[in-house]
Amino acid sequence: MTKQPINVNSEIGRLKTVLLKRPGKELENLVPNYLQRLLFDDIPFLKEAQAEHDQFAQLLRDEGVEVLYLEDLTAESIADPMVRGQFIEDVLSESKKTIQGHEEEIRNLFNSLTDQALVEKVMAGVRREDIQLETSHLTEYMRHPYPFYMDPLPNLYFTRDPQAFIGNGVSVNQIHWSARRRETLFIDYILKHHPRFADADIPIWYDRHMPYQMEGGDQLVLSKEVLAIGISERTSAPAVEEIARKIFEQPNSTFKKVIAIEIPNTRAFMHLDTVFTMIDYDKFTIHSAIQEMSDQFSIFIIEPDGDDIKITKSDSLKETLEEALHIENVELIPTGDGDPIIGPREQWNDGSNTLTIRPGVVVTYDRNFVSNQLLRDKGIKVLEIKGSELVRGRGGPRCMSQPIYREDI
């Protein structure tokens, strides 16, 4: 363990440590009637999704990246019986709406499991048939249409959103949709109780109990001085202002500017990283429709101003990035080369949601072959993974990864 286990001062510095979540039984608890409730459009085939994810993880290892798994870190964090007991109580407390008063039965189920199995069950969800109830009242004989006492968490393999490692600190996010809010409990326990992090005095830039929604897909670390945060369907303007103030107030923080980018409030523009991602010092992938919709994007530059902040409006994303990053010419590369058919198709399959593992080297889905070739033509090294099943959750390699440590650039 190092003194500073967290170091993320860019989107492109050589990736050294990453947090993943291998798809698990939570995907097998997706059913057609409740896809919308659980924020899915389709049902991935678990066996193939796991094989694709394993390929992703192995590619990262082959590139020298240490791969940590959310499920393993959480299980290691609750090894102490007191911590484990509190973890169970927190899970029950945050699932009251669906538990319907059956806390004791579910608590007994959890207490019968090993630490690893407990974590996996919390992630997979508790089906009604998982617990045996004594039927002493008429209501208990009634068949309930909803099959779960505790919802599954099928979005967990998108480790980008519940938290964001920024600088040497962490934003533990307040997720927009209730279907995902329980996800942030895992990183909360990891930071407080895992030996890798617990004694490291890690700054918490944002807390999961804050009243304003924010998600990691909207948080981009452009440099050690500049953050970009999307104001989107899932991240609110008050949240952006709150985290900017907190980061500016921290004496050891190197960040001097937050670029707030308001994007259309639709699922197609779910997060800022579906609009653009940084792939090299001067290159970004962008949503294929961004140029046609430029009038729907508002850009605000937030900077410290004594004990307060100042906010300046900007009209050009390209010029804002060039000025903030001190680069003469930023190149924005559209998904599908901007083609009106190919662009939207590959954007739907997360063509612009790339994970940069070092400057000019990215991981993408192989299915976005036009976008991938365009990146190669621009001098980018593209490492492809299969994405036939993983992509059904509507997220790409950046969505599926949470960098914990990058080398500085």
Alpha-carbon distance 384 to 395, whole Å? Answer: 15
Alpha-carbon distance 300 to 394, whole Å? Answer: 28
Of 38, 214, 330, 399, catalytic: 399
3-state secondary structure of 181: helix
Q: Which residue has the tokens 């329980």?
A: 182
Phi, psi of 169 (to 5 degrees): -125, -175
CB-CB neighbours of 95 under 10 Å: 20
Helix, strand, coil percentages (3-state) for the chain, rounded to 5, are 35, 20, 40
Alpha-carbon distance 35 to 141, whole Å? Answer: 27
Question: What pairs with residue 385 in β-bridges?
Answer: 365
Question: What pairs with residue 7 in β-bridges?
Answer: 405
Beta sheet of 204-206, edge-to-edge order: 163-166, 169-172, 204-206
Q: Radius of gyration over alpha carbons of the chain, in Å?
A: 21
Alpha-carbon distance 239 to 213, whole Å? Answer: 6
User: Is 330 assigned a catalytic role?
Assistant: no
Beta sheet of 361-365, edge-to-edge order: 355-358, 361-365, 381-385
Distance of CA 242 to the CA centre of its chain: 19
Distance of CA 361 to the CA centre of its chain: 21
Alpha-carbon distance 103 to 89, whole Å? Answer: 9
Alpha-carbon distance 42 to 392, whole Å? Answer: 6
Residues 6+ apart with CB under 8 A from 370: 336, 337, 339, 342, 346
CA distances from 304 to 109, 231, 258, 312 (A): 50, 19, 9, 11
Question: What pairs with residue 304 in β-bridges?
Answer: 309
Annotated catalytic residues are 399
